Copies of this chain bind each other. A is one copy, B any other.
């Protein structure tokens, strides 16, 4: 079975771990979000790609969900001693090595997809990880600031520095319109037996991937079941601050509203949590097959069960 998964960071990575456990023989291609990539200290940092790679490769900081296990912070504290920031982005020493290798390869002329493949040669994540594009896309968030009025800030500044504590007026994947899908992305979609949207952020993770011209169209035209899992449980994001960016695109923070946001033109099936069982008829009325199942990824077993439910729903759609 060939499965294509669109993934953001922590939610996508944990779902993928469950999917691998549920379908160890499946051929899984992950199209990773690069809209939250950021240049820090002259280095190219790809938080979502790394979270997927570290999680599936066994290097992730389990409790935190991002960054490396057994991490130290000598480089960061030294940079601070030089007065070089930002200090709000927590890069550890082990993590720095990844960014150093990536930057060196990028500056040597390798596209991000080739760099990602090289990094994965070490981590052996057991899936094929492809960035959504080799072109630069950078998600910006429009906010109001006391000093400068309304301005656009990098997604990471909004998310990590400001903790999404101010209203987002708009979310713009700068550069997406001019971006091309990375080599292998459209081919993987065309060859897929099923396409899954994990409970990742529908705006800044999966939404950004879909903003790369050609990807949304390829998924809609693939002719295979497309099944998603709601990142909203009981009217709030399971983790992160998805409600904040949903508001910016005028979407209510409910499982049904997120399904409608993707739309029946894209989505064939949708899993909501059991606490949102009441919304199943609303989703189905919109032309999307819907089931209510437990959607909390408390451990790999729970994530694997969710993955199985998604694949079961896909088979229902197909039949």
| Cβ distance A301 to chain B, nearest Cβ, rounded Å | 30
| Cβ distance A38 to chain B, nearest Cβ, rounded Å | 14
Which B residue's beta carbon lies closest to that of A121?
B83
Which B residue's beta carbon lies closest to that of A81?
B122
B-side contacts of A82, CB under 8 Å = 97-98, 101, 118-119, 122
Which B residue's beta carbon lies closest to that of A68?
B78
Within 8 A of B (CB), among A207-238: none
Which B residue's beta carbon lies closest to that of A78?
B97
Q: How many copies does the complex hold?
A: 2
Within 8 A of B (CB), among A74-120: 74-76, 78-79, 81-84, 92-94, 96-98, 100-101, 103-104, 107-108, 118-119
B-side contacts of A119, CB under 8 Å = 82
- Against B, the Cβ 8 Å flags (1 = close, 0 = not) of A270-295 are 00000000000000000000000000
How many Å lie between the Cα of A35 and that of B269 in the bound state?
Answer: 64
B-side contacts of A121, CB under 8 Å = 83
Contact B101 A79 (CB under 8 A): yes
B-side contacts of A43, CB under 8 Å = 100
Q: Which of B72, B75, B122 contacts A100 (CB 8 A)?
A: B75
| Cβ distance A147 to chain B, nearest Cβ, rounded Å | 24
Contact B107 A42 (CB under 8 A): yes
Size band of the A side of the interface?
20 to 34
Q: Which of B41, B79, B94 contacts A78 (CB 8 A)?
A: B94
Contact B101 A74 (CB under 8 A): no
How many Å lie between the Cα of A92 and that of B74 in the bound state?
Answer: 9
B-side contacts of A107, CB under 8 Å = 42
B-side contacts of A94, CB under 8 Å = 74-75, 78
How many Å lie between the Cα of A98 and that of B42 in the bound state?
Answer: 13
Within 8 A of B (CB), among A221-259: none
Q: Which of B72, B83, B118, B122 contacts A93 (CB 8 A)?
A: B72
Contact A79 B97 (CB under 8 A): yes
- Against B, the Cβ 8 Å flags (1 = close, 0 = not) of A140-172 are 000000000000000000000000000000000
Of the candidates A72, A93, A101, A121, the one having the most CB atoms from chain B within 10 angstroms of its own CB is A93
Which B residue's beta carbon lies closest to that of A83?
B122
B-side contacts of A83, CB under 8 Å = 121-122
B-side contacts of A92, CB under 8 Å = 74
How many Å lie between the Cα of A84 and that of B103 in the bound state?
Answer: 12
Which B residue's beta carbon lies closest to that of A97?
B78
Within 8 A of B (CB), among A39-94: 41-43, 72, 74-76, 78-79, 81-84, 92-94
16 inter-chain pairs at a CB distance below 8 angstroms, sorted by A residue, are A41-B100, A41-B101, A42-B103, A42-B104, A72-B93, A74-B74, A74-B92, A75-B100, A78-B94, A78-B97, A82-B101, A82-B118, A83-B122, A84-B101, A84-B104, A96-B100
